């Protein structure tokens, strides 16, 4: 186990970012409930939208690759994370458009899009902040052979 202070375990970084995502979602839900109408349909629509967007965001965050053994596995992991992040909101929107009834009338579809976009922006910010160290330096070559020692 790596105990150096500069590196945290992979699970700790993902757990911390999931907590941040849940905090952002809680803040968005609080704003929605504080400034929106307090009717039961609107509360149910808010809870539905928050649950669907939250499940997708947390699932995508947990599956997001940090480092891959190869570029192909990193791309595959990124595609899997993107699919897990977007599938629940898309399924929720599809359900709302075909038979959401009262939830759709209460605005669950627009709340779902708003919560999804807020969580996506937060996840992108976390990814940018997590990659502060940047890529490894590129080894520069001059294109010429090294000088030969005299007499060789």
Residue 152 lies in a domain: no
Is the pLDDT assigned to residue 38 strictly greater than 90? no
Residue 143 lies in a domain: no
Q: How many Å apart are CA 56 and CA 86, to the nearest integer?
A: 6
Residue 39 lies in a domain: yes
**Between helices 108-130 and 40-63, what is the axis angle to 10°?**
30
pLDDT in tens, 40-84: 999 999 999 999 999 999 999 888 765 566 888 888 888 898 999
Residue 140 lies in a domain: no
Residue 139 lies in a domain: no
Residue 139 belongs to what H/E stretch? none
CA distances from 147 to 38, 142, 151 (A): 80, 12, 12
Residue 25 lies in a domain: yes
The alpha-carbon radius of gyration of the chain (Å, integer) is 23
The count of structural domains within the chain is: 1
């Amino acid at each position: 186990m790596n105990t150096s202070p500069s590196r945290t375990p992979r699970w700790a970084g993902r757990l911390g970012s999931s907590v941040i995502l849940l905090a952002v979602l809680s803040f968005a839900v609080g704003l929605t409930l504080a400034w929106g109408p307090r009717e039961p349909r609107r509360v149910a629509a808010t809870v539905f939208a928050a649950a669907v967007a939250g499940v997708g965001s947390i699932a995508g965050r947990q599956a997001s690759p940090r480092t891959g053994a190869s570029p192909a596995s990193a791309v595959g992991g990124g595609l899997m994370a993107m699919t897990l992040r977007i599938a629940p909101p898309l399924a929720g929107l599809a359900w709302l458009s075909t038979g959401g009834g009262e939830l759709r009338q209460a605005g669950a579809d627009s709340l779902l899009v708003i919560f999804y976009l807020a969580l996506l922006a937060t996840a992108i910010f976390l990814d940018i902040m997590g990659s502060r160290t940047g890529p490894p330096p590129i080894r520069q070559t001059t294109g010429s052979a090294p000088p030969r020692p005299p007499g060789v």
